Amino acid sequence: MIKSLLSWSALSLYTAASIAALYYLLTKNERASRLMLTFVGCGLVLQFMSFGIHLAAFWAYPENRWFLPINNFFGALSYMGFALAAAFFTIEVRRRLGILGAFVLPMAALSLGLAVILADPELAPLAPKLRSYWLNIHPMVLMTSYAAFTNAFGVALALLIQERQIKSRKPTELCYRLPSLDELDALNGRLISITLPILVLGLVMGSVWAYQSTGRAWSWDAKETMSLITAGFYAEFLWLRYVSGKRGRIPVYVSMAGFACMLLTFFGAELCSGRHDFLGGK
């Protein structure tokens, strides 16, 4: 009861923060930006508390003790929302790019919203095949990389808008409010170049876990294949951007294709995945 109250409050705060961020982007009203930060901060605290309660209930099953409740959509999505908002807080705000909140915070709200409204926060003993210390590492590492990629996607959106503004030769007010093209480009590039190794690390850990439990490191199920394609797109982005020195929209489009694949990996592959079906709550 308290837990869902806390989750709902956190969701409302993230939504309010997204609205404040949008208002800040459109009007540059400083009070809206302060409101946005307050909402995000409070939302993070509430979500953390709600996580604590969820964890206590999850650990009430002795066989679940010390495992993180990230075994289903509810756990994964709420962690995504939390990590997204936290990453926004630590990366963009610290670089004085809080104005990007309008692009990042709605995704945090959406992620937590899906968890709270649609996903089933079922509490049950973990399936025996999941009872491994890898459960605390492999999905967490991947979810963290997803949250960082989602942040990068928000930055890439702003980058596309800014690039379009400048190319159009008719810049609007928005153009002067957004961070400069070079700043956005550097942030997008840096986020992806830091996050791709994390994604790859998560995949390697997954295959080690699989090898230990089933003897096969890689089985080409839908989720695994999709995640490999995701990594491929991001690697292609880094290649275009840093090795062949391409600028403008094309590398950004490639990084966005990577993001689309990431979403497919996360949501779509559930439907037809053999080894990773447990996230669906089965």
Partner 1 sequence: MKLLSLSWTHRDRVCAARETLAGVPVERVLADLKGRGFAEAVAVSTCNRFELYVAAQANQALAAAPILAALEELAGAALAAQADVREDDAAVDHLFCVAAGLDSLVVGETEILGQVKAGYETAKGAGMTGKRLNVLFQRALFVGKKVRTETALASGSLSVPSVAVQLAETIFGRLEGKSALILGAGAMAELAAKHLAAKGVSKLVVANRTWERAYQLAARYQGEAVKWETFPAELERADVVISSTGAPTAVLTHEIVKAAVRRRGGRSLFMIDIAMPRDIEESVHAIDGVYLYRLEDLEAIVAKNMASRAEAVAAARRIVDAKAAEFVAWARSLSTGRELSLKHSEYQA
- Residue pair 229/254 in contact (Cβ under 8 Å)? The answer is no
Choices 41-49, 74-82, 144-152, 180-188; region in contact with partner 1 by CB under 8 A: 180-188
Candidate residues 34, 129, 167, 190; the one interacting with partner 1 per rule CB under 8 A: 167
* x/- letters, 1..40, toward partner 1 (CB under 8 A): --------------------------xxxx----------
The residues, any chain, with a CB within 8 Å of residue 73's CB and separated by 6 or more, are 114, 115, 118, 119, 120, 279, 280, 281
Nearer to partner 1, 30 or 282 (CB): 30
Residues 266, 22: Cα–Cα separation, whole Å: 27
Nearer to partner 1, 170 or 282 (CB): 170
Residues 116, 80: Cα–Cα separation, whole Å: 12
CB of residue 239 to partner 1, shortest distance in Å: 12
Nearer to partner 1, 3 or 249 (CB): 249
Candidate residues 93, 175, 198, 228; the one interacting with partner 1 per rule CB under 8 A: 175
- Residue pair 141/201 in contact (Cβ under 8 Å)? The answer is yes
Instruction: Return the biggest CA–CA distance within the chain.
Output: 64
Q: Is 275 in the site for partner 1 (CB under 8 A)?
A: no
Half-sphere exposure of 4 (CA within 13 A, CB side): 10
Nearer to partner 1, 156 or 199 (CB): 156
Using CB under 8 A as the binding rule, the residues of this chain from 236 to 265 that contact partner 1 are: 241-242, 245-250
**What is the Cα gyration radius of the chain?**
19
Q: Is 190 in the site for partner 1 (CB under 8 A)?
A: no
Tokens representing 23 are: 């208002």
CB of residue 152 to partner 1, shortest distance in Å: 17
CB of residue 24 to partner 1, shortest distance in Å: 11
Name residue 127's amino acid: A
Residue with tokens 């908002």: 85
Residues 70, 105: Cα–Cα separation, whole Å: 22
Tokens representing 177 are: 């409010």
CB of residue 2 to partner 1, shortest distance in Å: 30
Q: Which residues bind partner 1 (CB under 8 A)?
A: 27-30, 162, 165-167, 169-171, 173, 175-176, 178-183, 241-242, 245-250
